[in-house]
Amino acid sequence: ISRTGGAPTLAFGMSEILSFLGGDAWKGFWYHFAIMFEALFILTTVDTGTRVARFMLSDSLGNLGGPLRKFRDPSWNIGAWICTALVVAGWGSILLMGVTDPLGGINTLYPLFGIANQLLAAIALTLVMTVVFKKGYRKWAWIPAIPLVWDLVVTMTASWQKIFSSQPSIGYWAQHRRYIDAEQFGSLNDAGNVMWEGSSFGTPDAVNAVIRNTFIQGTLSIVFAAVVIVIVIVGVIVSIKAVRAGSLPTSEEPDQLSHSFAPASLFSTKAEKALGRQWADYESRLTGASAQSPATANSHALTVADEAKEAVSGRADFGTGDLTVDGISDKVGDLAVDGTVDKDGDRVKDRASDLKDGEAVAQSGDDPPGSQK
């Protein structure tokens, strides 16, 4: 099996390590398992990075104002397509640079990919930590904070080494300077390769490619690290303000009650199947009511409200024979006692649970499967 390239080399190494499970006969299995793992890992990372970069690019363009303000609307498909194409072209050019690098993509591209991937995790953890502080959940802030600190220490150390190391085999800029010196002070041998200090650096075209690629990769390493440092500093400042104030408002959408039903486990129970049918009937009525006249909509609302009264009194048991499902108010939605609907036509002014004792309860005193709160 050819093991040229980074992915097969890593897969071969993993198969050797994992061969203690099953012996030599399982090495082929572990090799292909590692190849599949690498492919899925890279594809999901590229997918996530593309989405995040596209949102960041569209938001940045929208902040410029004027005609570009339209980019801030995520529902504008043309803007989303333009930003996606630009982002894909960006990482596609880096990928092309890596696979055509004279030194091999594993030596130049993979470290940059690994650093970018972990710095993306640092951004996500910073966002989570900031939201936790802003919502006032200080005692839970250690959950995102500890992995954030670890991620920053490890990844920033690697970034520092790739940027400032004096060893050409490690630092991008050290390798960049070495190839510049070879181009300036080296000489060509009979085979047409650049020779300097007793080492061959390849053809002049290969030397120029390495100089170009190391410059791009070194610059990106600095940009990635700088952006993450700025984001983390801003997140820490906002978190400190939230701690001093007790909490801060967030830009999150307000919580909304669920308007969908699903069984509690893989297979539905009898009660859940019955409740599912009731729920589907209720939603179809609301959908129909929103498209009808106010009088007809009120009639539908009164009908479902009457069913809620029966459920509260115990006459509607959803096929269980002895249970009135807790959370019937969720089935009825936000129906008003008087049966009127609001201006949107699909919600009502008050909860049907106000019909009796504030809430419909199970006769047995326990919540049956599938009850929604």
What value does the mean pLDDT take over residues 223-249?
90
pTM, entire model: 0.58
pLDDT tens figures, 280-312: 787 777 666 555 555 555 555 555 555 544 544
pLDDT tens figures, 258-284: 666 777 888 888 888 888 888 778 777
Q: Exposure pattern of 66-89 as b/e (b: 16+ CB <10 Å)? A: eeeeebbeeeeeebbebbbeebee
Task: Give residue for tokens 């009525």.
Answer: 285
> What mean pLDDT value characterizes the chain?
76
Which is more confidently placed, 110 or 5?
A: 110
Contacts of 359 (CB under 8 A, 6+ apart): 326, 329, 353
- For residue 237, pLDDT over 80 is answered with yes
